[in-house]
Amino acid sequence: LGEVVRAWSPFYILTAVILLWSVPAVQNLFTKGALSFTTFKVPMPGLTGHVTTAAGTVVNATWTFSILGATGTAILIAVLITFFTTPQLHTKELGEELAGALKALGPAILLIAVILVLANIANYSGGSTAMGTALAAVGPIFPLIAPVIGWIGVFLTGSVVNNNTLFAPLQVATAQGIGAAPSLLVGTNTTGGTTAKVISPQSIAIAAGAVGLNGRESEIMRGSIAYSLGMLVVVCVWTFVLALV
């Protein structure tokens, strides 16, 4: 029993640290408390004070970087706590794992950066609003197809977060155009996206590599796509029903 408890300890530690970082009082330390000096705010030149929305609001485009407040920092701290509380681990192994993680995550980091650039261009240029206004022409039936946008977003990017970064503003603009609740369409953008997670090429590649099925990704996708589409249909119908309530 003791060995089982120790084997699961990294997950206990990770959960505890993440929960601690989620406490508002702790986050306030990083934003306006004693540790606020670890948070940097950089106004974007050419954007801040130079762009006005359709509503007449001047855009305040500021990049905020919190060294300690980021969730990634909490995960890193959990890793270090696990390392120092596990005698079987050595510094060399820790270094090798960190280097391997950075190497493996390199393409993902680049992809996320490009997606954020694309999303910000769409938002600050008014592109998201323009697309949302055009989609509003679909009318009250739009909630029926709103989850499909999220489904496509996750299938292409492999990430629900990236999907929301790209398409949540579009869903909000469309909701305002058809008189629907923005929270409903943003939520369904997320839910629709999760149904595509099982057939996202990135997710399948990771899963195949983890269980030694490299080269059989197409088989996995063929076996999963029916479940993905089935769940998507359920989400579409349920979203439409909620929009009518």
pLDDT of amino acid 114? 82
Region at 90 (left for phi over 0; alpha for psi -120 to 50; beta for the rest): beta
- State what percent of residues in the chain have pLDDT above 90: 25
Q: Are 189 and 147 spatial neighbours (Cβ–Cβ below 8 Å)?
A: yes
Higher confidence at residue 9 or residue 238? 238
Q: How many residues does the chain have?
A: 245
**Residue type for position 223:** G
Angle between helices 160-178 and 182-196 (to 10 degrees): 150
Residue 236, pLDDT > 70, answer yes
Going along 80-178, which residue ranges are E strands?
Answer: none
What confidence category does residue 147 fall into, taking pLDDT thresholds of 50, 70 and 90?
A: very high
The 10s digit of each residue's pLDDT in 12-67 is 999 999 999 999 998 898 888 888 888 888 888 877 777 776 666 777 778 888 88
* DSSP H or E run through 40: strand 39-43
pLDDT of amino acid 210? 67
Mean pLDDT of 183-204: 90
List CB contacts of 63: < 8 A, sequence separation 6 or more: 41, 42, 43, 44
Helix (H/G/I), strand (E/B), else coil: 41: strand
Count the helices and strands in the chain (H runs, E runs). Answer: 10, 2
What confidence category does residue 187 fall into, taking pLDDT thresholds of 50, 70 and 90?
A: very high
**Residue type for position 224:** S
> Lowest-pLDDT range, 37-51, 141-155, 159-173, 191-205?
37-51
Residue 188, pLDDT > 90, answer yes
What confidence category does residue 141 fall into, taking pLDDT thresholds of 50, 70 and 90?
A: very high
What average pLDDT does the structure give for the chain?
A: 85
Q: Where are the domains of the chain?
A: 1-89, 103-245
Other C-beta atoms within 10 Å of 158: how many?
20
Please, how many CA atoms are within 13 Å of residue 15, restricted to the half-sphere of its CB? 5
- State what percent of residues in the chain have pLDDT above 70: 98
Helix (H/G/I), strand (E/B), else coil: 214: coil
CA 8, CA 140: separation in Å to the nearest integer? 49
The 10s digit of each residue's pLDDT in 79-102 is 999 888 888 888 888 888 888 878
